[in-house]
Structure 1
Amino acid sequence: MPTPGNGSIILVGVHLLRYKEYQLQDYSSWFLKQLNNTHNWERLKSCLVKSDDCNNLSRKYRTLKQYKQAKLTPIEAGCCRPPSECGYPAINASYYDLSFHPISSNKDCKVYKNSKAIKCYNCDSFKAGVAQYMKTEWRVVAIFNVVLFVVLSIIYFVGCCARRNAARSLSKV
């Protein structure tokens, strides 16, 4: 049976969910220190709350079946729904039946609310989703920077060779 967090299909009740669940302990202590810094987190969180990603899920996925088969982004998987281990049944893409008592001791189960302003914005799963998103984006930026460095190095090398050849040509005259 797959465990949450390994990216496999997870069986919850009789529903198959297709998303990866992210855990804070999967990230480096330095990264977590930056993410758990209250000032940094509040700025990040306010931007993400304003982005309305969670509130647009019900428009993006018209039916519960579409939602359950969707490949959610790390942020959608971390903040727009409670962790699957809570066992809350989904009513639609942005609303869960919270009348059930959580089957897990995960504190995120108690923090999650259906309110558009609350969702799981204070959950560790949200921080983990943001961490995964940033890790992915940073990787893209790092690759771009390496390619840019190589291109600039080649241009510099060609420029140096051209200058040396020009100096040699002038000295022969």
Structure 2
Amino acid sequence: MRTSNHLIGFLNFLTFLLSIPILGGGIWLSTRANNTDCMRFLQWPIIIIGVAIMVVSLAGFAGACYRNNFLMYLYLWAMFFIIVALIGFVIFAYAVTDKGSGRPVLSRSYQDYSLQDYSGWLADRVSSPGYWTKIRACVRDSHACRKMGRTVGGVPEAPELFYLRKLSPIESGCCKPPTSCGYSYVNETVWTAGQGVMGMDMDCQRWSNNQDQLCYNCDSCKAGVLASLKTSWRKVSVINIVILIILVIVYVVACAAFRHNKRIDNDEPYGETRMEKAQPSRIHF
């Protein structure tokens, strides 16, 4: 009995520790939302799951220490629903970020991003006028484009050096015009129209050298935000999958240990009665 309680207590302490990286992933998404990704509601499900695991683990730990069956029942049922919720979140994260990626550009190390490559719930959410107004302001206020500036001897770096950069999706989609527009490089956020401008791509007309506008109204900027979200969510999902596998193993072992405890509790009265009958009766003189 004590061994099973110790095992359950240890497993609950382990799940408490596992909640820390889940909560950390949610906080990391929150910082990304404040800086570049700019979708502030996406981190809350993972933060809530992390906090729930932490609280439920403490309840299970207390139940194991004090042999409180109610707390143990609460722990097992709550952990079951948490595991189901975590599975649902992982599936959702992969489903909404399944489509879309950057397009390689000839003689460039960076990629261009097109909104046509993305579809589904997340793409519709990002590109909707109501949400994009907020996201656009967030991207602008993050000063991601301003941070791109590099100088060599007080002069902006040469185009050849800029073309060798590996730009982030936000930098490529929001801070410069699409390569197909044929703009000529002046510096990272200033480009002049050339003879190769293509009117078929509306982003070519949306580009502005005004540092408060740039390509924030471009579809390429929306695609860059989606690509950034995809990268962030995939990183967190990998961690969640590993933790989910461990949680399932811990949950199965905890269920087995709890059943073992219940079986011992049910057998104790019978065992004690049998031992009493086995003892020889005292003879009184």
Shorter-normalised TM range: 0.7 to 0.9
Residues 36, 6 of structure 1: alpha-carbon distance in 2 compared, 3 angstrom cutoff = closer
- Give the whole-Å Cα distance in 1 for the aligned partners of 2:166 and 2:151: 12
Alignment of 1:86-101 (within 5 A): 86-98=181-193, 100-101=194-195
Residue by residue over 1:14-39, the C-alpha shift from the partner in whole angstroms, topping out at 9 and shown as x without a partner, is xx322111111111143332122112
1:43 paired residue number: 134
Residue by residue over 1:82-103, the C-alpha shift from the partner in whole angstroms, topping out at 9 and shown as x without a partner, is 11111111112222123x3552
Within the alignment, does 1:104 sit opposite 2:201 as a pair? no
- Structure 1 runs not aligned, ≥5 long: 11-15
- Counterpart residue type for residue 202 of structure 2: K
- Give the whole-Å Cα distance in 1 for the aligned partners of 2:197 and 2:138: 32
- Structure 2 runs not aligned, ≥5 long: 1-101, 269-285
TM-score by length of 2: 0.52
Identical positions, percent:
35
Determine if contact 1:80/1:120 at 8 Å carries over to the other structure: yes
- Give the whole-Å Cα distance in 2 for the aligned partners of 1:60 and 1:163: 65
Determine if contact 2:144/2:171 at 8 Å carries over to the other structure: yes
- Counterpart residue type for residue 24 of structure 1: L
2:212 paired residue number: 117
Q: Secondary structure at the match of 1:56?
A: helix
1:152 paired residue number: 247
RMSD: 2.1
- CA drift at 1:63: 1.6
- CA drift at 1:60: 8.2
The partner residue of 1:27 within 92, 109, 118 is 118
The partner residue of 1:137 within 210, 224, 232 is 232
Larger helix percent: 2
- Give the whole-Å Cα distance in 1 for the aligned partners of 2:234 and 2:151: 27
Residues 60, 149 of structure 1: alpha-carbon distance in 2 compared, 3 angstrom cutoff = farther
TM-score by length of 1: 0.82
The partner residue of 1:54 within 145, 160, 185 is 145
- Give the whole-Å Cα distance in 1 for the aligned partners of 2:129 and 2:239: 30
Determine if contact 1:102/1:109 at 8 Å carries over to the other structure: no
Within the alignment, does 1:63 sit opposite 2:160 as a pair? no
1:79 paired residue number: 174
* Count of paired positions: 162
